[in-house]
Structure 1
């Protein structure tokens, strides 16, 4: 059990980040709602663990990493990575405590109040430092990106002065390039995702099509794509997805487009259909 005798609690109370437990809980679940698609489950579990351990001084957790590991079942290395992720996203920071005599004491983790603008900035900054924007985007690393003009050229036009002020993630579905993403898929995905996410998910579609050697987005293909997307949304809402939304969508879609390819091969009278490798 953590002891508080050596810590100056009166001084520490000044670092409390919330006025009530209800306020802290609201921020925690707002964070979870916005990051759950983009981080491992361990990050969510560690954040919840910090919340449960931040009751005496609201928002401040004295819990050791080893204790977090015992409570969550994760290794100390995983706990450490999760804490670093939370810090990099601006969800938590650390406070160096002092004893009553003024000497340095333990480091305390502090949950910060939810701020959507700060979170988006942190996520954008974190993703920009990754080769593919997200570790999970290895699935679509061969998808050809849109080439954009440099900021220097954009700023020459006064009409476009505000373009750098609006984060990419805040563009609504209507900005999704219809010359790249099928309109039927945009209509299906628009209630749930912004243009950035729709474009990202379409990259997964193109990658699966390439693996299954499907060159045309036929009516049969897009119908199965939309069914795969709706299935993934349903399973996510039912809390049945253990990994990430994108990986689950990839798996369902791959299975469904394998069936489309098999049907296409039969209709084309493939002579060696019996020996076709459907797993690749």
Structure 2
């Protein structure tokens, strides 16, 4: 089934879940059953799709390249992992045609639909819930109760935090601060987890790589951070549909172009962006 690009109303109709809780139960059941049976790449791909599938309750639209950059694997690995997930009937994959926007023709991003496995995995969910209940103390101290209240989150947030701890152990704040500009880390970590901060830094490096060297980032870090904050504002006001990281990347490319054009205009040079 080939869909039109940017057709969000039809994407939403592909959802197989009534609400976020229903979606989370299916995701939790799948991860509980298969996390020791499948290799880590497959699990990471599934988790990435799940992270992007919250807004439309199980429907995510993003490119294979984006998944590859997020989990740090090759396109070939992503394709193999997607085939495994599809064979397990964990996801459906729909292609899109570019019928809207400035560029028309050809294929666009993929639309991934997480399948409802809650009925098939009801036994696994019962085991998981029973295990969680067994691990819960019968009596809690007042200090433990207060801590539980302070650290309570929605189910989706809890699941995301669990994923971060399992897969992002190497990207703690100390690691980021010692390898990335502190100003960048402090700003972006206010909105994203450590893994996403690192991924966004890689996208910024990629955005400037073709037309400049890394010194452009350091010398104009304020401008790139300003661009990032503008993207955050647009995201919060629902002006960004789809992949946020991809949108920020495009905005950073434009910022890079504007910086170099301004520099060249001062010395009377013209930069060929088609080169």
Q: Smaller-chain TM-score range?
A: 0.3 to 0.5
TM-score (norm 1): 0.45
Which structure: larger Rg?
A: 1
